[in-house]
Amino acid sequence: MAIIRGASLVLALLGVLQGPAAWAQQKSITVASTTSTENSGFFKHILPLFKTRTGIEVRVVAQGTGQALDTGKRGDADVVFVHDRVKELALVRDGAFVNRHDVMYNDFVVVGPKADPARVSGGRDVVAALRKIASAKAPFVSRGDKSGTHAAELRLWQAADVDPAVGKGGWYRETGSGMGATLNTASGMNAYSLTDRGTWLSFRNRGDLLIVVEGDQKLFNQYGVMLVNPAKHAHVKKEAAQAFVDWLVSVEGQKAIADYKINGEQLFFPSAGR
């Protein structure tokens, strides 16, 4: 008796153990993207639109930019959709990806405590603001995880002629984690940080933090989409993946991107073909 009950439970659970073939039969592709894009709710908005149009299910694995690019290189995804133009182009040259298309951009903002110890609030010059933060030795939390955001941050410090490593462990804190976790830390420490607007708009644990610097051209963040090279990885679902890439840069896709708003604010700005 108990044996029969046990066996039926096993069979029910084995529904989970259908072979990988079953998963592949539904039309689906795997896209490696970034946690900031996922956290902003962007995919929840556009993927259903794509599915309605093509019937293709898109499975997004949200990792840091560095990890996502690595996932693509290994062939564990069909498409990579991140925001580190420099690294992306380098990998296309290396043959890991077929080519790169601009899709959209969003912008970064600097957030900081209401008390604003470095006196940067209201500014539009991010480089000047960073210089002030460094000289005031005001606490600054960085992602420190080789993500697109992290890469952008480091480029800004360079432009400001500041080596943040000097303040490591002191006023400059690296969390080695995603945007959300980093903001949690910044909120807890009442520190400055660099974040993408999307994550900030949907972030619920702001504490005393608010946007202190925005609008600088240097804060614009370019997203690119790339197809994993089928020549290197034969199993890549190239038709379905190409369909996704094509849709993102199409008029319809670009409109869907522009339509995504949080609290009436647009997060991402279409930039294909520019």
Partner 1 sequence: MNSLGEAFGAAWRLLVGFDAELAQVVGLSLQVSITAVMLATLIGLPLGAVIAVERFCGRQTLIVLLNALMGLPPVVVGLLVYLLLSRAGPLGSLGILFTPQAMIIAQTVLIAPIIAALSRQTIEDAWREYEEQLRSLGAHRLTAGMTLIWDTRFSLLTIILAGFGRAVAEVGAVMIVGGNIDGVTRVMTTAIALETSKGDLPLALGLGIVLITLVVVLNGLVAVIREAALRRYG
Residue 196, Ramachandran bin (φ over 0: left; ψ between -120 and 50: alpha; else beta): beta
CA separation for the pair 195, 198 (Å, rounded):
8
Shortest CB 150 distance to partner 1, Å: 15
Q: Is 74 one of the binding residues for partner 1 (CB under 8 A)?
A: yes
Residue 40 or 271: which CB sits closer to partner 1?
A: 40
Residue 43 or 268: which CB sits closer to partner 1?
A: 43
Residues 168-187 that bind partner 1 (CB under 8 A): 177-181, 183-184, 187
Shortest CB 23 distance to partner 1, Å: 6
Residues 23-62 that bind partner 1 (CB under 8 A): 23-24, 30, 35, 38-39, 43-44, 59-62
Q: Which amino acid is at 32?
A: A
Query: Distance between alpha carbon 146 and the CA centroid of its chain, in Å?
Result: 12
Nearest to 104 by CA among 170, 200, 196, 207: 196
Helix (H) or strand (E) holding 265: strand 265-266
Q: Per-residue b/e over 209-246, b at no fewer than 16 CB within 10 Å? A: beebbbebeebebbbbbbbbbbeebeebbbebbbbbbe
Shortest CB 78 distance to partner 1, Å: 11
Shortest CB 159 distance to partner 1, Å: 28
How far is residue 36 from each of residues 147, 157, 223, measured CA to CA in Å? 10, 21, 12
Residue 73 or 131: which CB sits closer to partner 1?
A: 73
Contact between 245 and 229 (Cβ < 8 Å): no
Which span (69-77, 79-87, 119-127, 213-221) binds partner 1, by CB under 8 A?
69-77
Helix (H) or strand (E) holding 189: helix 179-189
Shortest CB 48 distance to partner 1, Å: 11
Bridge partners for 140 per DSSP = 172, 192
40, 209, 143, 189 alpha-carbon torsion, rounded to 10°: -140
CA separation for the pair 176, 187 (Å, rounded):
16
Q: Is 159 one of the binding residues for partner 1 (CB under 8 A)?
A: no
Q: Which of 1, 4, 17, 263 binds partner 1 (CB under 8 A)?
A: 17
Size of the site for partner 1 (CB under 8 A): 40
Q: Is 31 helix (H, G, I), strand (E, B) or coil?
A: strand
Residue 206 or 218: which CB sits closer to partner 1?
A: 206
Residues 188-227 that bind partner 1 (CB under 8 A): 199, 202-206
Interaction pattern, residues 118-157, with partner 1; x per rule: CB under 8 A: ----------------------------------------
Q: Which of 119, 235, 255, 261 binds partner 1 (CB under 8 A)?
A: 235
Residue 61 or 136: which CB sits closer to partner 1?
A: 61
In the complex, which residues of this chain contact partner 1 (CB under 8 A)?
10, 13-17, 20, 23-24, 30, 35, 38-39, 43-44, 59-63, 73-76, 177-181, 183-184, 187, 199, 202-206, 233, 235
